[in-house]
A and B are shown apart, each in its own frame.
Chain A
Amino acid sequence: MPQDREDFTEFARARATPLYRSAWLLCGDAHRAEDLVQETLAKVYVRWHRRLAPPIDNPAGYAQTTLVRTFISAQRRRSSHERPVEVLPDRGHVDDDADARIALSAALAELQPLDRAVLVLRYLDDVSVAETASRLGISAGAVRNRSLRALDRLRSVLGASLRDFIES
């Protein structure tokens, strides 16, 4: 295997799980999360192997940004070709955190895609306000406003559950 491809495979293996966790919160189900991660890795692969382009400074950050942008872009196209279903798709295996995850996922689903992306970047990926703004192409103020609005919305949806999560 060429060194370049070997390096990429090693990177992809290292980042697949964190990317998947972000994707799961963004998408709300396992299948779409897998699809989003694979699409993200494909885009990073192309950039990674682009001739005459400088190496990616921060591959992990680049992949995370690609993931979020791909998600937002896909959401903009969704309404034209996706149908809502009464039964949610498979959410993957159930574990001790499944209830919390499903509740959180349902609450996140109430948010606008961009708000969801702001929360995932800020609170799962621990990205600063300024960096979140840069990655999403919006102002820092917009990141703060969207965070506040989205958290308020989460609280109203989760209600006591959110307090339980925090206090547990």
Chain B
Amino acid sequence: MTNHDTGVDRIFHEATHRLNPDVDRLVAGGLERGRVRRRRHLAGTAVAAVATVGVIGVGAAVVPQLTTGPAGDLPVASGETSSTVAASPSVPPSATPTPPPASESPAPDTTHLGETAGPTVHAADIPGLVDQLVPGHDVGEPLMQPPYGVSDAPDDKTVHFEVDGMLTTVIIGPASPTLAYDCADEAVVDCRTLPDGTVVQVSVPTVNDGVTMQEVIALGDAWMVSVLSYNADDRPKSSEPLQDAPALDEEELVTLATSDAWFE
């Protein structure tokens, strides 16, 4: 200390020494934000790469019909895609009509998403259950190498694997509307509310240079399940799309997101 700053440290300490925050709240909030950041980091690498490809090739291959809003709040790698993901006119309209509203078909039982009891599935077992729930695909083992890996915490089940050789991600965690899409943005997401209040959010496929991703979120009162499917392998930065659409179609994604298999 010099004459210039004599006593300043004491002022700072005395001014703050009785500031006693709610430590539980700070830590809980920090943990929650940290888990979200980590999920984004793990699951978002592919999307970030897709976005990078999109920036480079957007002028040539994609009409820049930029999406706005909810992409920035996507639970998985949203921030990386918000300004670069574009809807492509090269994707033909679906050959099949839009699925009928939930009320016209048997609604899945998603009451488990509103219950306190959390997911019971082991994250590493999720690919096997996917194989059972949407048969007819070649489902791979969990991707363990960085930047992927498995999270098997009681309130955070995250696993990445390949379906027919294309990247697929399943994330199960506490319901967080801030992580879901904004249903008001109909250009980006189609929201359906099931009889028990669960909201099923089906994102419009996002395309960049032919690499396509689609996500379905089942958002209950207590838990949410997010399933993402791509049409490229786990190295989309350096690989080509393997087919026009993601490996899992919309109906299969909904089946997975609303399944109670993760909670049995």
Contact = CB atoms under 8 A, between A and B. Distances in A.
Interface of A: 1-2, 5, 8-9, 12-13, 16-17, 19-21, 24-25, 30, 33-34, 37-46, 49, 51-52, 92, 95-97, 100-101, 104, 119-120, 122-124, 126, 147-148, 151, 154, 162, 165-166
B20 to A, nearest CB: 6
Interface stretch (B26-34, B168-176, B208-216, B255-263): B26-34
B11 A101 contact: no
Contact of A45 (B35, B146, B149): B35
Contacts of B98: none
A157 B177 CA distance: 44
A16 B28 CA distance: 11
12 contacts: A5-B153, A9-B27, A16-B26, A20-B19, A34-B26, A38-B33, A44-B34, A97-B17, A147-B5, A151-B4, A165-B10, A165-B14
In the A-B complex, the 3 residue pairs with the smallest Cβ-Cβ separation, listed nearest first, are A41-B30, A45-B34, A42-B33
A18 to B, nearest CB: 9
B239 interface: no
Contacts of A38: 26, 29-30, 33
A46 B19 contact: no
Interface string B3-41: 011111111111111111101011101111111111001
A40 B30 contact: yes
Most chain A CB atoms below 10 A, which of B30, B31, B32, B35: B30
Given A12-B27, A46-B37, A166 B19 contact: no
A33 B14 CA distance: 18
A151 B16 contact: no
A2 B153 contact: yes
Contacts of A40: 30
Most chain A CB atoms below 10 A, which of B20, B26, B33, B36: B26
B29 A45 contact: no
A16 B23 CA distance: 6
Contacts of B15: 25, 97, 100-101, 104
B18 A51 contact: no
B16 A123 contact: no
B128 to A, nearest CB: 22
Most chain B CB atoms below 10 A, which of A38, A92, A95: A38
Most chain A CB atoms below 10 A, which of B4, B12, B32: B12
Given A5-B153, A20-B19, A13 B27 contact: yes
B17 A37 contact: no
Nearest to B6: A166
Contacts of A21: 16-17, 19
Contacts of A16: 21, 23, 26-27, 30
B19 A45 contact: no
B23 A45 contact: no
Contacts of A24: 16, 19
Nearest to A51: B146
A166 B10 CA distance: 8
Contacts of B5: 122-123, 147, 151
A17 B20 contact: yes
A49 B39 CA distance: 11
A126 B1 CA distance: 10
B218 to A, nearest CB: 25
A78 to B, nearest CB: 18
Interface in B21-71: 21, 23, 25-27, 29-38, 41
